[in-house]
Structure 1
Amino acid sequence: MGVPPMSEKQCAARIRVSARRLRTACALPILAVMPPLLIAIVASACLGALVGLIRQWSDQSAKAADVDFGGVRTFTFWAMLGCVGAFASEQTSPVLLAVVFLLVGTQQIVAKFNAPPGARPGGTTFASTLLTVLAGSLVYWQELPGAVLVAATTMVLVGSKQPLHAWTRAFTQDDIRGTLQFVAITGVILPLVPNRAMGPFDAFNPFSTWLMVVLISGLGFAGYIAIRMLGTGAGIVATSLFGGLASSTASTLAFSRRSKTDPALSQHYALAVIIACTVMLPRVVVVIAFINREFAQRLVLPLSLMAVPGVLYAALVWWRRRPGKVHGDPVALRNPLGLSTAIKFAVLYAVIAFLVKAAPQLGLTKGLLPLSFVSGLTDMDAISLSIAQMRDATPQDLAVRAVTLAAVSNTLLKAGLAISIGSPGIRWRIALVLGLTAAVGVAAMGLV
């Protein structure tokens, strides 16, 4: 009995199916036909080789000589050993992987004592070795994201040896003291203070107050560390950006004083002051977003409008003439993590938080605007965070106007400081740009 002939449509369908099967077969990844153990060994070897590459490069860069201990080949072997050890532990005895770790650790200890004094591996080599073995084991256990994270972190820390050493050598005793005080502020004091409202109008919450101290101090410390890492040879734009993050008022004072001693660069120092003051505006939004995201979103429009004059001026100066380098040390900022600074901010925040919360309770809602203006002359963060913490207790439109007005008064304060202590070449630029910034802020208050 013969096979009935296929129609044209059936023939075309059969051809499409055959072509699809052919494409699938041709596109089949080679990994799909490899044994799982072989895949794990290859992946482990790759991770180990990367760690070894960075380790060998780091030692060769530091010693300007070939390194016979802990290079690409050795770390590749260790990662593969971890993978095979995990496989053997699963197939035979669970103690085999522990034996692998013990043998590798023993080998490291023996190598340390047998090597010449100037070439002995340190603790970093010991830790990176065991972590590489562990990464190989994680690959076999199909914990690939964890293995990649372990290997990547190891590579970053091993490769950053020289920059980290150079950075820590630049630390001063005040830096270390301030850092330890910040640890005490965050890890010791914060968990101990009570987390409940107390006092008149329930306006004082010790935990909330100290949490704001931690938030502001930590953000300022990030900018301070960036300044220390940049050094005196950094460009004015980069220095003013991080200086504004650490303290826009301190940056304004430092750059303005510097313009008096080096008036030829007044244009560049004026740019630095304007950038530092402009950075303060998005900084406020970011800080508020940590505690009240919805309120921060409402502040984006008015504070973005206020930033326009500064951004346009910076773009114009950059287009006409690229800013030069910082000469000397124009941003003489102190470590913002001092305990006395934290206590002062806590007291200021507590007082302003009380006044902000007491105003609506006493029917003085309109008094929030004068309070914001006066508070902005002393500290922008305290009034902004206090208002953000109020949430539904204050009308949102009024709260946005209050923070915007605080930004206006803070801008006027820094403009006055720069004009009073800066060179003649810096005064008119600051008056023009920061004056426009304040004017735009007042106009933006009518849009909310």
Structure 2
Amino acid sequence: MEFPDVIPPLLIEFALTVAFSFVVGLEFRRYQRMNQYKFHFGSTRTFVLIGLLGFILYTMDGSRVLYGIGLVLLGGMLLIYYWQLSSKEMLSLFSVLLALLIYLTGPVVSIFPSWFLILFIVSLILILGEKPLIHRISDKLAGEEITTLAKFLIISGVILPLLPDEPIAPMMPVTYDKVWLAVIIVSGFSYLSYLVNTYFFKSRNLMITGILGGLYSSTVATVVIGRRAHHLAEAGRFVSSALIMATAMMYIRLLVIIFLFSPSAGQRLLAPFSIAIVLSIAAMAALFRFRDDSPSPSEADVIKHPLELSTAIVFAISFMLFTSITQYVTSHYGGYGLNFLSIIVGFTDIDPFILSLLSGEFTVSSSAIVSSVILASGSNNLLKAIYAVALARNRSVRAAAIWLIFLFAASILYAFKINT
């Protein structure tokens, strides 16, 4: 931390060590009282003395030998303390580890920048003060989520850096790392919406399903809502509003992903996608009733977990397959063939196709790529209209189906305008 030159740096470091050790000691004292520990580990003064011991030993010996000896002796004393009390009650190592961290305060003050020092002390205080919150999160979080997080760290932090930045094959003009980066971005985006939907909105309200499910996959959200709508014939405005909202969230999700991959394409798609988003929200607002009079929806239809490794592999294969098909179509049939392909692809998963368009190097203009993205998203809306009508089989989805067909027609007209 930067202070005026008139204050000796040693005095500043000493004062910071005492102050932060004292603050953590106060919080630890409150932590002991709240948990009603029968055997108390030291006090606020104990923490200040431990912090001072570490600071003095670290400062007086440049070789740090004395500091290391002090750490060993302090650790030994704490272990003896723990061993003596562990025979009398269930004693945690938490107090011992916290005391050792306070011993490190002096070196942290001397070596690290101010932001790290503050982060270090704040972390200790939050760990002490938010024990109930940490326990609630631990109890609420499903065990498989930790394994899923480990999988995501593997695919993003281990596999991606190992992949080469070179084209896979002549008929597949995209690099290995671009393929896997697409997997990470799409999976991470879907995983975030899955966590919010699972742990913050467990009621499965239709509008929540439309919003968060649309961020995950608007097609999946449409299927879920369409199934529930089969028993909600009298809640047509609410059901249709949820379906339209899912499509609006699809455009938002696509815009974010496209900007991450190709900012130039994102800028060209910003206007048409923004218009689709605004008009969809306006249509939803015109239909949506502020009070939900529909029956309680069934909780049987739960969005599948998006971060299975098998799902990532399937997405990567789909990405490479669409890249090969796109390369063949653009080489032999040009932009018109790509537009026809985009309409067909809209009846499948459009994410790998759109990302393959943005990542590869094809012999078509940027306008053709933009129109292909619009056509693929538009025909996907037609697919969702078909799903909604087929699954609901009642009038509850009529307004949403009409709106989705309108978006499909508008997409064709806009793409035609770009190409002319």
Q: What range is the shorter-chain TM-score in?
A: 0.7 to 0.9
Equivalent residue number for residue 190 of structure 2: 220
Report the alpha carbon displacement of residue 243 of structure 1 after superposing the two structures with TM: 2.8
Report the alpha carbon displacement of residue 300 of structure 1 after superposing the two structures with TM: 1.6
Q: Is the 8 A contact 2:174 2:360 kept in 1?
A: no
Does 1:39 find its partner at 2:12? yes
Distance 2:314 2:181 in 1: 14
- Structure 1 vs Structure 2 CA RMSD: 4.0
Does 1:340 find its partner at 2:314? no
- Tell me the SS of whatever aligns to 1:290: helix
1:112 to 75, 82, 96: 82
Deviations 1:247-270 (A, max 9, x none): 332222223323334566665454
| 5+ long unaligned stretches in structure 1 | 1-28
Deviations 1:131-185 (A, max 9, x none): 4443442223462122123234444555565445444545557656655554554
Distance 2:3 2:337 in 1: 73
Q: Is the 8 A contact 2:201 2:208 kept in 1?
A: no
Which region of structure 1 is more displaced relative to structure 2, 291-300 or 377-386? 291-300
Distance 1:205 1:315 in 2: 43
Deviations 1:353-373 (A, max 9, x none): 112223332242221111112
Distance 1:319 1:435 in 2: 23
Equivalent residue number for residue 389 of structure 1: 359
Deviations 1:170-216 (A, max 9, x none): 55576566555545544565556554324343436444323322332
Distance 1:366 1:207 in 2: 29
Name the larger-Rg structure.
Answer: 1
- Aligned AA (2:335): T
Does 1:137 find its partner at 2:82? no
Q: Is the 8 A contact 1:54 1:158 kept in 2?
A: yes
Distance 1:393 1:98 in 2: 65
Q: Would the alpha carbon gap of residues 393 and 140 (structure 1) be closer, same or farther in structure 2, given more than 3 Å must change?
A: same
Equivalent residue number for residue 328 of structure 2: 358
Equivalent residue number for residue 273 of structure 1: 243
Report the alpha carbon displacement of residue 352 of structure 1 after superposing the two structures with TM: 0.7
Q: Alignment length, in residue pairs? A: 416
1:377 to 347, 356, 362: 347
- Aligned AA (2:258): I
Equivalent residue number for residue 337 of structure 2: 367
Q: Would the alpha carbon gap of residues 214 and 110 (structure 1) be closer, same or farther in structure 2, given more than 3 Å must change?
A: same
Does 1:284 find its partner at 2:254? yes
Distance 2:242 2:376 in 1: 22
Distance 1:88 1:241 in 2: 60
1:157-172 correspondence runs (5 A): 161-170=131-140
Which region of structure 1 is more displaced relative to structure 2, 259-268 or 37-46? 259-268
1:310 to 280, 290, 300: 280
- Aligned AA (1:302): P
Deviations 1:227-257 (A, max 9, x none): 2321524766555433333333222222332
Distance 1:335 1:227 in 2: 11
Equivalent residue number for residue 397 of structure 2: 427
Q: Is the 8 A contact 2:319 2:356 kept in 1?
A: yes
Report the alpha carbon displacement of residue 403 of structure 1 after superposing the two structures with TM: 0.8
Which region of structure 1 is more displaced relative to structure 2, 246-255 or 185-194? 185-194
2:67 to 97, 109, 125: 97
Equivalent residue number for residue 408 of structure 1: 378
Does 1:296 find its partner at 2:266? yes
Equivalent residue number for residue 88 of structure 1: 60
Distance 1:352 1:241 in 2: 28
Report the alpha carbon displacement of residue 35 of structure 1 after superposing the two structures with TM: 3.9
Report the alpha carbon displacement of residue 408 of structure 1 after superposing the two structures with TM: 1.1
- Aligned AA (1:149): L
Q: Is the 8 A contact 1:221 1:336 kept in 2?
A: yes
Which region of structure 1 is more displaced relative to structure 2, 361-370 or 183-192? 183-192
1:142-153 correspondence runs (5 A): 143-153=113-123
Distance 1:261 1:67 in 2: 60
After TM superposition, the score normalised by the length of structure 2 is: 0.80
Q: Would the alpha carbon gap of residues 125 and 188 (structure 1) be closer, same or farther in structure 2, given more than 3 Å must change?
A: same
Distance 2:37 2:22 in 1: 20
Q: Is the 8 A contact 1:233 1:325 kept in 2?
A: no
- Aligned AA (1:376): G
- Tell me the SS of whatever aligns to 2:302: coil
Q: Would the alpha carbon gap of residues 427 and 101 (structure 1) be closer, same or farther in structure 2, given more than 3 Å must change?
A: same
- Aligned AA (1:140): S
Equivalent residue number for residue 24 of structure 1: none
Report the alpha carbon displacement of residue 82 of structure 1 after superposing the two structures with TM: 4.3
Deviations 1:281-311 (A, max 9, x none): 1212222333322222222222111111232
- Tell me the SS of whatever aligns to 1:115: helix
Q: Would the alpha carbon gap of residues 334 and 113 (structure 1) be closer, same or farther in structure 2, given more than 3 Å must change?
A: farther
Report the alpha carbon displacement of residue 406 of structure 1 after superposing the two structures with TM: 1.2
Report the alpha carbon displacement of residue 99 of structure 1 after superposing the two structures with TM: 3.7
Which region of structure 1 is more displaced relative to structure 2, 380-389 or 268-277? 268-277
After TM superposition, the score normalised by the length of structure 1 is: 0.75
